């Protein structure tokens, strides 16, 4: 792809995410999802990985994701419409990692996410968020295995890149990349982002637009 075309796509992505973006609804099960009329990009990540902050940075909003974080919605799929007319949807999946959670809560989470991953034809890509300070943890490997099993294309995004030194970030990136290459459904390119500094946000917007159009 030429540099000119790359720049055009990046500008289209910037304009799209600077335009209308609205919280649509929360869906506790597949039957509550909106009609599959637009490509969807899902976000997965452990609790406190910075998912809400990343969604807010991507969409140039201060509190877009907070709309979906009221009590009682933590185990639902939260859907955001992007563009007017509608261009794509962002789907915020409930955070995973249930060391302290009741077994029935973890089971409900797994059923909801599994149903969505396997049953949503318009799902174009899942972004798996990993904290740059910690790298891959067992719950992250579990979701990667789940995505492999569901044959859902996914891409790893390292968050909070500003919180670690560059050498440490490079080492984490190498380790995560090496492990990702062992997973059939993992995209080879890994993003490093910071919601605070804006690093990597523009590139991620472009990748989301490209994935939605694929």
- Exposure of 213 in the CB half-sphere (CA atoms within 13 A): 9
* DSSP letters for 134-180: T---HHHHHHHHHHHHHT--EEEEEE-GGGS-HHHHHHHHHHHHHHH
CATH of domain 3-213: 3.40.50.300
pLDDT tens digits for range 27-72 = 988 999 999 999 999 999 988 899 989 999 999 888 787 644 444 4
pLDDT tens digits for range 87-106 = 999 999 988 875 556 677 77
Domain ranges of the chain: 3-213
> Residue 18: beta bridge partners?
none
- Model pTM? 0.92
- Exposure of 108 in the CB half-sphere (CA atoms within 13 A): 15
Return the axis-axis angle of helices 201-213 and 3-18, rounded to nearest 10°: 100
Residues 6+ apart with CB under 8 A from 139: 46, 96, 97, 98
pLDDT tens digits for range 138-181 = 989 999 999 999 999 999 999 999 999 999 999 999 999 999 99
- Exposure of 127 in the CB half-sphere (CA atoms within 13 A): 29
On the question of pLDDT at 79 being above 60, the answer is yes
Closest by CA to 158, choosing from 19, 45, 6, is 45
With H, G, I as helix, E, B as strand and everything else as coil, classify residue 85.
coil
Q: The dihedral of CA 101, 99, 117, 61: what is its sign?
A: positive
Beta carbons of 154 and 121 less than 8 angstroms apart: no
Beta carbons of 157 and 127 less than 8 angstroms apart: yes
């Amino acid at each position: 792809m030429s540099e000119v075309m790359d720049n055009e796509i990046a500008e289209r992505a910037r304009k799209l995410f600077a335009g209308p973006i609205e919280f649509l609804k929360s869906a506790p099960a597949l039957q509550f999802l909106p009609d599959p009329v637009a490509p969807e990009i899902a976000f997965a990540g452990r609790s406190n990985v910075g998912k809400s902050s990343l969604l807010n940075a991507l969409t140039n909003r201060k509190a877009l994701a907070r709309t979906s974080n009221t009590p009682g919605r933590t185990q639902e799929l939260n859907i955001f419409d992007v563009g007017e007319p509608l261009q794509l949807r962002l789907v915020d999946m409930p955070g995973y990692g249930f060391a302290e959670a009741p077994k029935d809560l973890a089971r409900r989470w797994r059923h909801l996410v599994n149903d969505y991953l396997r049953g949503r034809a318009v799902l174009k890509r899942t972004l798996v968020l990993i904290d740059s300070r910690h790298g891959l943890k067992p719950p992250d490997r579990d979701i990667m295995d789940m995505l492999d099993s569901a044959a859902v294309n996914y891409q790893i995004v390292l968050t909070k890149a500003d919180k670690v030194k560059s050498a440490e970030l490079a080492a984490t990136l190498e380790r995560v990349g090496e492990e990702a290459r062992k997973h059939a459904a993992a995209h080879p390119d890994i993003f490093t982002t910071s919601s605070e500094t804006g690093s990597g946000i523009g590139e991620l917007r472009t990748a989301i637009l490209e994935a939605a159009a694929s």
